[in-house]
């Protein structure tokens, strides 16, 4: 069942990124990257204590927060809100694919991953994703020859 949920989250991630692409919103690649990882700022709350960390992390990683931004962007015809909401939504799905979900207060006594561990996991995942895309592009190129 966990694998099925991860595949579902991966499809949500891909759909969100595709919708951002179809909006044709003019930003530099690093701005998309920065906006995509902005929800991780919620981990700053852990500097105060685990309760505040869980609250700030959950607010920024909850899909309802992203949905509110998306709806506000659609209703107000504000492309900025729409793109930010879609990227936050994609980020939440991306984290769930990696096995990070919302923090439950009951789990706070467990050892939380360090920022370095999270960065390493995301970097490893991105490098594997890049390699798989490169393989697809190479195989497509050879099929077209």
- Check: CB of residue 73 under 8 Å from CB of residue 83: yes
Query: How far apart are alpha carbons 111 and 55 in whole angstroms?
Result: 17
* Average pLDDT for the chain: 82
What does the pLDDT read at residue 15?
93
What does the pLDDT read at residue 52?
86
Q: Is the pLDDT of residue 136 over 70?
A: no
1-15, 74-88, 111-125: range with lowest mean pLDDT:
111-125
**Average pLDDT value for residue range 115-134:** 69
Instruction: Kindly tell me the number of DSSP H helices and DSSP E strands found in the chain.
Output: 6, 0
What does the pLDDT read at residue 134?
57
pLDDT band at 139 (very low <50, low <70, confident <90, very high): low
Longest pairwise C-alpha distance within the chain: 58
pLDDT band at 43 (very low <50, low <70, confident <90, very high): confident
**Average pLDDT value for residue range 18-39:** 89
Q: Is the pLDDT of residue 87 over 90?
A: yes
Place of tokens 């966990």: 2
Contacts of 70 (CB under 8 A, 6+ apart): 81, 82, 85, 86, 89
65-69, 74-78, 114-118: range with lowest mean pLDDT:
114-118
Query: For residue 31, is it left (φ>0), alpha (ψ between -120 and 50) or beta?
Result: alpha
**Average pLDDT value for residue range 44-60:** 87
């Amino acid at each position: 069942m966990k694998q099925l949920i991860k595949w579902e989250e991966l499809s949500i991630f891909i759909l969100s990124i595709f919708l951002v692409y179809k909006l044709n919103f003019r930003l530099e690649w690093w701005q998309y990257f920065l906006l995509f990882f902005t929800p991780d700022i919620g981990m700053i709350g852990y500097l105060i204590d685990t309760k505040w960390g869980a609250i700030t992390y959950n607010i920024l990683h909850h899909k309802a927060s992203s949905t509110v931004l998306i709806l506000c962007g659609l209703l107000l015809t504000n492309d900025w809100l729409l793109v930010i909401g879609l990227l936050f939504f994609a980020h939440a799905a991306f984290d769930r694919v990696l096995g990070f979900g919302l923090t439950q207060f009951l789990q706070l006594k467990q050892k939380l991953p360090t920022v370095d561990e999270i960065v390493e996991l995301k970097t490893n995942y991105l490098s594997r994703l890049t390699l798989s895309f490169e393989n697809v592009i190479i195989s497509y190129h050879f099929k077209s020859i």
